[in-house]
Amino acid sequence: MSIEYALSRGSRVLVTGANGYIASHVVDQLLGPGYIVRGTASDLSFGTDPNPVIPWVVHATLNILVTTSRKPSIKRVVLTSSSSSTYSLTSELNRRELYAGQPKTDLVRRVLVQLLRTMPDTWNDAAVGKILHQEIPGSTMGWVRKLLQGDATAFSRFPEQWYVDVEDTARLCVLGLLDPIVKSERIFAFGEQTKWTNTVKMLRELRPENTLIPNAPEHEIRDRTNVIPRARARDLLEAFYGQSDFTSVKDSLEKCIEGY
């Protein structure tokens, strides 16, 4: 498939938080076509005290956006965010439709509108799939892995909602950077809706000899959100990568726990 890229091969790309789960896959996707990648380290401590973590991350992000607006040599910026920036799963919000509207944070909205009118951004949910290096915690996938050891902490930390394969998310980030037609667009990386009951079932099918996998929690809230823009993300994956659909949850789980 012949694809025109917005940035010529060999261009230099900065990936912030390159030691993280999703960003490490973004780096991997960029190195393949021949881009020169520089990375910065992010705090992966998941500390309970927000003061040493959040302020400097916010400052660093805003600093990059301001710098970008002043340097014409920087051609494109892609912002990646969690789906929790647009909604949270609660019993009161059990049925609704999610549109590609504005972010709910006023500061983020002002920065995006005023500084980067041509910037695409990607919103992803619970990411699962391959972990590229043993020193990368793997975020949500790291907690899912712990289910194989009998650790049920994931059930309380992450309410079930939508899954997306981490490589699919990385591909959507990269096409937001390289696809010349993707501008001023919010890309929703929502692959497949499921719940812990299904995840536990799939893990037991993949590891039938493992008796440590805990039972799923009872009375789970089912996420019935209709994520309308996910069809656009799926179409972009097909047009840019020749990928007909999002990677299935079971395939993602299998890739992650292989050899683990």
Q: Is 232 exposed, middle or buried (0-12, 13-18, 19+ CB in 10 A)?
A: middle
What Cα–Cα distance (Å) separates residue 181 from each residue in 101, 111, 123?
Answer: 19, 22, 18
User: By C-alpha distance, which of 161, 173, 166 is closest to 145?
Assistant: 166
How many domains does the chain contain in total? 1
Model pLDDT, residue 178:
94
Model pLDDT, residue 167:
96
Contact 144, 260 (CB under 8 A): no
Mean pLDDT of 199-203: 95
- 98 within some domain: yes
- 4 within some domain: no
Mean pLDDT of 27-46: 88
Q: What is the DSSP letter of 34?
A: T
For CA atoms 244, 246, 249, 252, give the dihedral sign.
positive
- 237 within some domain: yes
Model pLDDT, residue 82:
80
User: By C-alpha distance, which of 99, 61, 59 is closest to 80?
Assistant: 61
- 169 within some domain: yes
- 146 within some domain: yes
- 18 within some domain: yes
pLDDT in tens, 134-177: 888 777 888 889 999 999 998 888 776 788 999 999 999 999 99
CATH, residue 41: 3.40.50.720
194, HSE (Cβ side, Cα atoms, 13 Å): 19
Q: Check whether 224 has a pLDDT greater than 50.
A: yes
Model pLDDT, residue 60:
82
Q: Check whether 133 has a pLDDT greater than 80.
A: yes
- 197 within some domain: yes
Model pLDDT, residue 120:
66
What Cα–Cα distance (Å) separates residue 157 from each residue in 71, 141, 177, 196?
Answer: 40, 12, 32, 12
Query: Which range, 5-19, 31-45, 83-97, 119-133, has the best average confidence (pLDDT)?
Result: 5-19
Model pLDDT, residue 199:
93
Structure tokens at 5: 């890229």
- 91 within some domain: yes
Domain, as residue range, for 135: 12-257
Q: What is the DSSP letter of 221?
A: P
